[in-house]
Structures are given as C-alpha cells and as structure tokens.
Structure 1
Amino acid sequence: MAEKILEMRNVTKRFGKLVANRSVNFDLERGEVHALLGENGAGKTTLMNCLYGIYNPEEGEILLHGKPLKLSNPKDAIAHNIGMVHQHFMLVPPLTVLQNIVLGQECRITPMNLSRARAQVEELCEKYHFQLELDTKVADLSVGAQQRVELVKALYRGADILILDEPTAVLTPPEVEGLFEILQQFVSMGKSIIIISHKLWEVKRISNRVTVLRSGEAVSTVMTKDVEEADLAAMMVGKRVSLEYEKTPVTTAQNILELKDVCAKGAHLASSLKHVSMHIREGEVLGIAGVDGNGQLELSEVIMGLLPTQSGSVYYRGEEITKMPTRKRIEQGFAHIPEERMTQGLVMNFSASENMIINCYDRPPFTKNHLFNSRQVKENGKKLVEEYDVRPRDPDALARSFSGGNQQKIIIAREFAQDPRLVVAVQPTRGLDIGASDFVHQKLLEQKEKGAGVLLISADLDEVLAVSDRVLVINEGEIMGEFVPGEIDYTEIGLMMGGTKRTNSKAGETA
C-alpha cells in the first residue's frame, strides 16, 4: 500500500461571499503525480495556494506525514519542503538566473559570495538536464526558459512535494517531453508532484491519479489509467466537449492583410523577422506554428504597429499601412489578443467593465461631446459578461480578481465587441482549461464566419492544426513552409519547426 504523505481534509476557502473551495478532500502519495483538473475558476489554484501558505482556509485541516500542518505564509511551506511553480512566474526580471534562484535563501551561503550557490545550482541543472545560462538576466529569457528557472528554484529550496500550476502552458511539444522526463526522474527518487493542467492528454501521459474540481468542490478522484480523456472532460465541465471543428472553406481570394519582404529587429537574433512575406484572406484562419521565441511575437507586433519594420511593407485591404500608428489600426478594424494578458491585455486595477472599453472609451456611446458616460460603460460590461460567460458575473469586480480564463474572456469580449476585420490572437488559450479553450476557439471561428481574417499564433501545435485553414511554420524569424492541416504529418512539421525549409512550400506567395 502506498504511503500517504499529505492530506487536505474538508478544506473551505472563501473570498467574501464567494466560496472558492467547499469542503475539499485531497491526498498525495509518495512517489506519485496527482493531477488536479477543473475549469478556470473551479478552485484548483486556490486550493494549492492554501497548501503553499498563500491563503489560510476558514475550515478544514492539512496533514503532512499524519501530523497537522499550520502554514502562515509560503516560507512555512518551503520550510516543510513544499515548493510551488505558479502559472504566472514569481521572478525578478532585472536579476540574473542565479540571483533569482537564490533570492530569499541568502542566509544559507556566505554573504556576497555566490560561488557555493552557483556550484549547487549547476549540479541541479546537470542532474535534471536543465539548459540555463546562470548569468543571463531573466528579462532576456524566453517564457519557457523562465519556467525552467522556477523549477530549479523550487528544487534548490529542497522541495519534496512540488506543486506545478499549468506547467506546460508555455512549452513546445519537445519541451513538454523534456519536462516529463524531469518529473519522472523526480518521482523515481520518492518525491511527489501535484500538477494542475488543462491538457487531458498530458494528464493521461504523466499522472497516476486525477482529482476533478467543479465549482469549488471535488467531484471525483480516479486512477488515471481507468478513465478516458472524454470522461475527464465531461467530469470537468459537466458535459461532453469536442475540440474537433467543422470549418467552412475559404471562398475568397481577397487579402485582408499582406506582408511583403518584411524585416524587423527582435530582442534576440532568433526572434528578428527576416524577409517575411505572407498574406491572410478574408474569412480565413491563418495559423503560425513554431518553437516559442522564433519571431512569433515580433510578427504580431509588426502587424499591430507596435514594432517598426526595418524594411519591407505591410498592406491592409490593399493599402500600405507600414507606418500607420497602432491606434489608427485599431480604428481601422484590428483586434489584438496579446500574449501576456496580465501585463499587456488588462489593467489589473480596473474593473471588468472599464477593461472592456479601453480600446474605444473615447467614442460613442461611451464618450459623446467630450463627456464620458459611466452608465453606458456599466451597461456594456453587464451585457458582455453575460454574452461571453465571464465568471463571476460581476462587471464591477477588478480584473485581478478573475481567474486566468475569465481574464482572457474579458479581453476577447472587448476586442470582438467592435466587429473587427482582422484578429491577431497570440497564445489565446495559454493556461486555459478545455472548456475555456473550446469557448475561445468557437469565438475565433465566429469571427472567421463573419468574414474577418484571423491570425492565430500558438505554441500549441494541436490548437493550430484544429482551428486553422492554413498554417505557416516559423523558425528564427523566417518562414519555413506552408501547409494545409491534414496534408502532411507531424514529422515534416517538426522538421520545419527545427529549421528545415519545405521545398514545395508556397508560403511566400500571395493569393
């Protein structure tokens, strides 16, 4: 019989009138990976924040090795060898990788002498096959590399129980496999992992058991090998969900957007755009596939006017807009779902209603004759939280109080409420569960049906293939090839993602 090392008994956590967790029971065995599933807002992260000492539950108890565990803050959790890697990383961008890893642990080493810490961190990196440049500033790292820093930081602090909140949301398929190898090595040493994930195939691939939360309550705990993905999805959302979409054919040759021989400088050489030519037709979803950090973000910023081109031209509906300001592009029908919803997509201390009019606050009906109409803002917010199923249904709540999936819905509601002609969606379902992802995909396809052009940039290859009419693969800022989903296999796609050009590609041609 497996040794039970952790128990959460009848844990209840409230935020005012909102009950985030209601009498939740959860346990963890030595040497297992226990997955926690549920829709965004189901209470998964809140429950784990109680275990990590960020929140104090109003009711229930936590037992570690059979003894009551009292946690006042994360420092207490770390002292009991509990580590957590959050969905939104807790790193200090101006500091180096090494400085971030040892931050808060300085008393364990000789003051102002990091040589011993460096040796320990290098040993951990070698042991778990992490590739990190310890003297690089975190601000200069890709999102995937930042996550590896968080993992090493938890291991450096001696974690025997590791909580991972959506750990694969920012990783490419090869990086996911690398992470899984690390986690398997971790549990083989008798340590234990709690993993929050919205990707069902990953849960099936890596976990031993699954606990499903719905509306703050634990509805089931099952052995992973005894259930299918469809069963888990149904337990999560209370109904059957399919991520296979019927897409109407693109019937027009009219381009909504065209890039001709565009070059632009990114933060790193690999992210700089190099002679990119591409087009998006009206009523088409164009997917961009590739390893994160290979120019995808820069491509979206060039299109939105946030990054200047060094050479080449950008055309919108046949007219050159290469130097058109971002604000003017938005007024012309551009919609933007940015990669980082918390820092780029929302003002976290603004309400949902206020965030929903940021791109049009100075136009009717919100501003008329230079007078701002707050009543219209609230009415608009109330309408959109209903239409886009934002939970809780409180348009006056601050954006920071919503879960990640509902924050994304606020952004999508704002952008799509303006009936855009061009949608630039960057990692639109990153960190979202299966139900929320399906919602986002349906909304993107609705824009396609209305005749808008949609650019879908995602590190999730399955998402790109499921939603796109046509796909371009990008590597180190260059287009490697073009294909229609279903016409080539994963091997050929992987070669392009790795830098091999498809010889018969038509990526650079326009319709």
Structure 2
Amino acid sequence: MHGITKRFPGVVANKDIAITVRKGTVHALVGENGAGKSTLMKILYGMQKPDEGTIAIDGEQVSFSSPGDAIARGIGMVHQHFMLADNLTVLENVVLGGEKLYGIGAKARKKIKEISDAYGLGVRPDALIEDLGVADRQRVEILKVLYRGAKILILDEPTAVLVPQEVDALFDNLRELKSEGLTVIFISHKLGEVLKVADDITVIRRGTTVGTADPRTTTTKQLAELMVGSELPSPETRESTVTTVPMLQVERLTVAEGGAPVVTEDTARTPGLPDANLRENTVAGRLLLDGISFTIHKGEILGIAGVEGNGQTELIEALMGMMTPDAGVITLDGKDITKSPVRKRREGGIGYIPEDRHRHGLLLESSLWENRILGHVTEAPNSKRGIIDPKAARKDTERIVREYDVRTPGIEVTAASLSGGNQQKLIVGREMSHNPKFLIAAHPTRGVDVGAQAQIWDAIREARREGLAVLLISADLDELIGLSDTLRVIYRGRLVADADPATVTPEELGTAMTGAASGHLDATDATDNRSDAGTDARTDSPEDEAR
C-alpha cells in the first residue's frame, strides 16, 4: 500500500501511509487508538475507498469497490467488532454470502469441521451465535475467513479476549498458516505479543507511518515510545485502599439454564434424599451460576478471572438486574436489591462498563451527547424534574470529552464515527460521572491503546481511592493482577480458586481458568489441590464436557 490517504468530515484518518507486507509472514500493525490502523485495513478489505494512493497484490495493482472484490483476491478480515448475525447458527453465518462455495448442507458442514479441526478452533456448527461468548465468536470469524480461501488474513485485535494458553494456541495457528504460505496482518495494542509473533512491524501515529521495527532487536519500551511517544503504562497498583465496610454482598447466587426452577438445600428438603446429592436431584437444567458468594468492600477491586463462557456474563446480568437469579441474595450498601429493576440499581449507585461496547454500551448511530444519557436518563445533569435536559447533557458531554481525552471533532458526531478506544473512553467517562458506589468493569480496556489504557486505569484507581467498590472482569491477566486487591477464578459457574495478586503469575491464573487447579493459588500450586473454595465432587456428563 503506497501513499494511502483517507479523509472524513473534520478528520484525516490516513495520510500518505506506506506499508509493504512480505508473503508468508506475520506483519504487525501497531499504533494508538485513532491512529488509522482500522481505516487502513478497511481500505485494503474494500470497505472504504482511498482518496489517494495505490494498492498492489503480488506486484499487480488492484482497486476494490467492495469486500467481495477483496475476498476474490484472497483477502479476509476478522474485525475487532464481529460481523455476525446473532439469530443464525455458526454454519449459517459461515456460509452466508458464500453459498456457491460448498452449498449450505452436508458438504459445507464437512468443510467447516475440516477447518475447525485443522486449526484447533473447536467450533460447533449448530450453535446459535447469540449463545456464544466473545472468544467463540472470534473463532467463528476466523473460520469464516478461512472457509472463503483467504491467502491474506487481517486480524484486528485478535488476542483481546483470550487467556495466555489460548493466545499461545492462536500463535501456533498463525505460524501454521504462515508455513503454508499464508500472510497475516496482525493489528494489536499488546506490544509483548507483537514482538513474540511478528516477523515485521509497522508503526502508525496520528494517521501516518512513523517507522518500522525489527521484533528481534526491539523492546516493548522502544516500541511504545515509537507508537505514542511515551513509556508503556502499567496497571500495577501498590497502595491499598480496602476498607472493612462491605459495599456489595452476593450470597449463593444461582442461575439455571433457561431460567429453570431451582431448589437448593437452603430452601427445601426432600425426604430420604442425602444432603450431598440434594442439589443435583432438585435442579432442573444446567447451572450457569452455581451458588456463588463473595463480598466487595469500599475501596476494593475484586478481579474475576475466567475463560469466556464460564458464567461471567450471567453474573454481570444478575447484578445489573438484566436477569432474575433462580436463588441467592444480592445486597448493595446494606439494601437487598435482588428483585430491584435495572433503573433502581442504576439510581442506587451501580456503574457499568459492558463487555461489548457495541451491543450493550452505545447507540452507534446516535450522537455522543445522546450516548452520554444512556443508562442515566433519570439522573442529573441529563434530566430535570423528569424531563430530558439536552442543553445540560451536551455541556456535560463536552466536559467528558475534555477530561477523558475523547478524540472527536465534536459532540454532535455519531458514536460510530469514533475509534474503538475513544468509544470506550466515552463510556468510562459516562459511568464515572455519576460517582458510582459500585462499578462493574467488564473488559474495561479491551481493544484500547496504551495511552487510553493508562487513562482508564487511572480513572478506576482514583475512584477506588475515594471508596468505590469494583468488580473487574477481564481477559487481560496482567490488568487483573495489576489492578485487583483480591482475585477469584470462575470455572463452569463456580468460584473455584482464589489468589493473591502480589504473588500469582498469569500462567498460574491461566492454569486455574482451565480447571486444572483450584483452592488458593501460590507458587507451589502446580497440581489440582481441590479444597472447599467453591468446589465439590461432581462428575460431569458428556454434554457438560462437550460444552
């Protein structure tokens, strides 16, 4: 790609960019949010047309009018925000638009299975997309691209949702793809991973290329300085602000699949049934959350580590009031909120940074000031005496944009026009503006560059110093270990292990997340030392194992 320039109203996204990618290599593209990485790749994928510049593939100059043109030339893209139809199955999503390749029946299913097995993607063709976690959706996207015969694979933030073991598996897959002559363009903010997997690195800053780096001789510090002009931030929090005052208490929270009725040993006794087997015999359906209990104090960050799909989403939805638990009690600042509606919980002081900003955090086609109101419609400054106050909401949005460094031409533009990291900063600013007592932070820095990461971490740490209680759910184990005061591991809907953030390593945490270790994690916990920390003896059915 040579001399690529792309302008949007009020902003130049790409300016005279030059990038050369060698065949059969992993080429990393790094830069802070809004640097123009995604725009550049959308141009390569035919989603945008450049205002200036040329693209050549295998020495031949090309011009793409649509992604279809790019796919025909062997280019595939896995977007940071997935392009999947929630109400369709995996198979339907994969064949959609590619029906002529292998049909829509047995032949297509066989091909999907072949690709899934070859690259260890573990994809189930008949699963509904809306039932899948973020990591599984990503695997479907990768499979979709490979199904279409891509020779050049663009991966936008592919490791943002994966644990260390999964990242290693993905990198093994990329090396396998590379050895078969495929070319991978890898967009990432995780500089350590970039240096580990890339053959070449191109750095973009403020819409233009500022240089290249050799991963064999470059350090993360040098790469960060090249990328943002400053040192790499750290999530590490040294001082403790934990008090003895409980802010959120969760007792025996239970959610069954499909909302099946739950009878636990606390609520009923069946004559002649041994206590140890009571739950297994009286719960209809699989338990998505299985008797979870924890307390978060004022000034405390409780980190929950777990592979996607082990109950984190259900936990968030139960705490927010989006889902009614089948059993258990939730207490916020001394008040039972188990049956309170979402709005009452919001007004009672719960802040929420959602795991998927596009699906649950923003109205993409609405303006920034309208997005600032979301979730806080009844609260000042958004409304006055029950009526929306657009003037006050606009003024406060300008303050958020200023204080949280949201890069935007103005507050009237749509949320869709912002880069991912700037959308995230807007959400964090919105939630922190209401001085929450308790914050649910689900993947708060997913897909966010090092500069924005530092700002978000600082905002959470500052609020924590003032007594905020935080539930932190993240796939970034360095972030979990660095920010948390207390760490718990969730596996198959149970809290199976706990760890001291001061001593635990990402590898030890990753091992517990796969179910291979439980109890209290320390340097000696290499084996499964089952304790009573949320585990009990249970033989999983073949269906559970398959899940």
Shift in CA distance, 487/369, structure 1 to aligned 2, threshold 3 Å: closer
| Alignment match of 1:377 (pick from 373, 379, 393) | 393
SS state at 2:124 partner: coil
What is residue 142 of structure 1 aligned with on the other side? 133
Tell me the alpha carbon deviations over residues 238-295 of structure 1, each in whole angstroms, 9 at most, x when there is no partner. 1113214333213521111111111123569777111111000100111001111111
- Which residue of structure 2 aligns with residue 3 of structure 1? none
Cα deviation, residue 487, structure 1: 2.9
Query: CA RMSD of the aligned region, Å?
Result: 1.9
Deviation of the 1:38 alpha carbon: 0.7
**Structure 1 stretch displaced more, 141-150 or 27-36:** 141-150
2:314 aligned residue = 298
**Counterpart in 1 of 2:545?**
none
Question: In 1, Cα distance between the equivalents of 2:451 and 2:227?
Answer: 8
Q: Give the 5 Å matches for 1:214-229.
A: 214-229=205-220
Distance in structure 1 (CA, Å) of the matches to 2:226 and 2:479: 22
SS of corresponding position for 1:225: coil
Q: Do the aligned partners of 1:297 and 1:426 also contact (CA within 8 Å) in 2?
A: no
Q: TM-score, normalised by structure 1?
A: 0.93
**What's 2:404 paired with?**
388
Q: Secondary structure at the match of 1:226?
A: coil
Moved more, 191-200 or 167-176: 167-176
TM-superposed CA distance for 1:66, in Å, is: 1.5
Find the counterpart in structure 2 of residue 498 from structure 1.
514
Deviations 1:153-181 (A, max 9, x none): 11111111111111111222221111111
Conservation of the 8 A alpha-carbon contact between 1:97 and 1:138: yes
Q: Evaluate the alpha carbon distance shift between residue 412 and residue 352 of structure 1 in structure 2; reply closer, same or farther with a 3 A threshold.
A: same
The residue that corresponds to 2:277 in the other structure is: none
Comparing 468-477 and 170-179, the one that deviates more: 170-179
Pair 347,185 (structure 1): closer, same or farther in 2 beyond 3 Å: same
Amino acid at match of 2:62: L
Distance between the aligned counterparts of 2:333 and 2:236, measured in 1?
28
Give the letter aligned to residue 463 of structure 1: E
Give the match's secondary structure for 1:348: coil
Q: Distance in 1 between matches of 2:224 and 2:69?
A: 35
Q: How far does residue 330 in structure 1 lie from its aligned partner after superposition?
A: 1.1
Conservation of the 8 A alpha-carbon contact between 1:270 and 1:476: no
Alignment partners' CA distance in 2, 1:490 and 1:401: 35
Letter in 1 for 2:146: L
Q: Per-residue deviation at 1:489?
A: 4.1
SS at match of 1:451: coil
Cα distance in 1, alignment partners of residues 389 and 444 from structure 2: 31
Distance change in 2, residues 1:68/1:491 (3 Å): closer
Contact 2:237-2:482 at 8 Å conserved across structures: no
Residue 194 of structure 1: aligned partner: 185
Structure 2 counterparts to residues 230-309 of structure 1, below 5 A: 230-266=221-257, 272-309=288-325
- SS of the aligned residue for 1:330 comes to helix
Of 186-195 and 426-435, deviating more is 426-435
Runs of at least 5 residues in structure 2 that lack an aligned partner in the other structure? 260-284, 522-530, 535-547
Asked if structure 2 preserves the Cα contact closer than 8 Å seen for 1:270 and 1:295, the reply is no
Asked if residue 412 in structure 1 is aligned to residue 405 in structure 2, the reply is: no
User: Distance between the aligned counterparts of 1:379 and 1:254, measured in 2?
Assistant: 35
Residue 487 (structure 1) aligned with residue 487 (structure 2)? no
Identity %: 42
Map of 1:205 onto structure 2: 196
- Does residue 69 of structure 1 match 2:62? yes
Amino acid at match of 2:313: L
User: Which residue matches 2:152?
Assistant: 161
Q: Could you say what secondary structure the match of 1:471 adopts?
A: strand
1:291-370 matched pairs, under 5 angstroms: 291-370=307-386
The 8 Å contact of residues 276 and 478 in structure 1, kept in 2 or not, is answered as yes
8 A contact 1:298–1:307 mirrored in 2: yes
Bigger Cα displacement from structure 2, 222-231 vs 353-362: 353-362
Per-residue CA shift, 1:392-424, capped at 9, x if unaligned?
151111111111111111111111001111111
Question: Is this contact kept in 1: 2:10–2:409, CA < 8 A?
Answer: no
Counterpart code for 2:168: E
Q: Which residue matches 1:10?
A: 3
Moved more, 432-441 or 70-79: 432-441
Report how far residue 503 of structure 1 moved: 5.8
Which one is further off, 44-53 or 314-323? 314-323
Query: Which residue of 154, 161, 168 corresponds with 1:170?
Result: 161
Counterparts of 1:337 and 1:88, CA distance in 2 = 16
Asked if 1 retains the 8 angstrom alpha-carbon contact of 2:256 and 2:286, the reply is: no
Does the CA-based 8 Å contact 2:368-2:397 persist in structure 1? yes
Q: Name the CA shift for 1:73/1:295 in 2 (closer, same or farther; >3 Å).
A: same
Equivalent residue number for residue 108 of structure 1: 101
Read off the aligned partner of 2:4 and give its amino acid letter: V
In structure 2, relative to structure 1, the CA distance for the partners of 1:372 and 1:487 (3 Å cut) is closer
CA distance in structure 2 between the partners assigned to 1:381 and 1:115 by the alignment? 53
Return the letter of the residue paired with 2:63: K
Q: Aligned partner of 1:194: which letter?
A: I
Tell me the matched-pair count.
499
Shift of 1:119: 2.4
Instruction: Supply the distance in 2 between the matched residues of 1:270 and 1:208 (Cα, whole angstroms).
Output: 45
Secondary structure of 1:241's counterpart equals coil
Structure 1 residue ranges without an equivalent (≥5): 1-7
- Local SS of the residue matching 2:216: helix
